[in-house]
Structure 1
Amino acid sequence: MHTSFAKRCAILEGLRERTRVATSEFYQKPNAIAPPLAPRFIVKPIGGNIFDVIERSTGKIITERFGHNNATTHARELDAKVQHSKVKQFGRTLSIWALCSGVILALFALFDNHV
C-alpha cells in the first residue's frame, strides 16, 4: 500500500473512533434519547411476490414468505420472540442465582448450628 494512502486510512480510522466515542458520550447525558436500534430481521424480495426473511447480523435466510405483509409480519414476530426470550433468559438466570444463594445460606446456617 502506498504510504500516503496508508496515512489517509489511519487518519480516517482515528476520526471514526473519535466519532464513536463522542456519540456514546452524548447519549450518556441526561435528556438525550438514543435512536432506536436497527431491526434484527430484514425482508428482501426474491421475485414472484416471494420474500426472504434474513437475519441481519449473519445474513442467514430464516424463511421465505409469500407476500410482503406476511413477510414483514413474520419478521416482527421473530424480533418480538427474540426480545421475549432475552427476558425469559434473564428471569431464569435470576431464579437460579437466588436458588443457589439460598442453598449456600442454608448450608451456612446448618454448619453454624453444629459448631
Structure 2
Amino acid sequence: MHPDIQSRRDIVDGLHQRSRLATIELYRLIGRPEPVVAFRMVVKPAGRDFFHVVDTRTDKVMGFRRNHNEACALARRLESERSR
C-alpha cells in the first residue's frame, strides 16, 4: 500500500476512535444508555454453500452469494444504498 494512503487511513481511524469515545462520554454524562445500532441487512446461511442477504424489516431475501465475504460486501452495499 502506498505510504500516503496508509497515512490517511491511520488518520481517519484515529478520528473515528476519538468520535466514538466522545459519543460514549456524552451518553455517560447525560445518564442515558447508548442507542443500539441495528443493521437492516443481515447475512444468513442458506443451505450448505449459499448465504442469503435478508432485509430485517421485510424478511425478504435481497440477494445471495456462495462466499460469506461476498455476501457481507453485498449486505454493506445494500445497507449504504438504503440509508441514502
Q: Same fold (TM over 0.5)?
A: yes
Give the structure 2 partner of residue 34 of structure 1. 34
Structure 1 or 2: larger helix share?
1
Report the alpha carbon displacement of residue 77 of structure 1 after superposing the two structures with TM.
1.1
Q: Secondary structure at the match of 2:77?
A: helix
Give the structure 1 partner of residue 79 of structure 2. 79
Query: Which structure would you say has the larger RCO, counting Cα contacts within 8 Å and 6 or more residues apart?
Result: 2
Judge conservation of contact 1:52–1:63 (CA < 8 Å) in 2. yes
Gap regions ≥5 residues in structure 1: 1-26, 86-115
Report the alpha carbon displacement of residue 34 of structure 1 after superposing the two structures with TM.
2.0
Report the alpha carbon displacement of residue 41 of structure 1 after superposing the two structures with TM.
0.7
Structure 1 or 2: larger strand share?
2
1:61 partner amino acid: V
Give the structure 2 partner of residue 62 of structure 1. 62
Specify the structure having the higher radius of gyration (Cα): 1
Give % identity.
Answer: 33
Give the structure 2 partner of residue 53 of structure 1. 53
Residues 57-96 of structure 1: per-residue CA shift (max 9 Å, x gap) = 110111111111010111011111122x2xxxxxxxxxxx
Q: How many equivalent residue pairs?
A: 57
Superposition misfits of 4+ residues, deviation over 4 angstroms? none
**TM-score with structure 1 setting the length:** 0.43
**TM-score with structure 2 setting the length:** 0.57
Q: Secondary structure at the match of 1:36?
A: coil
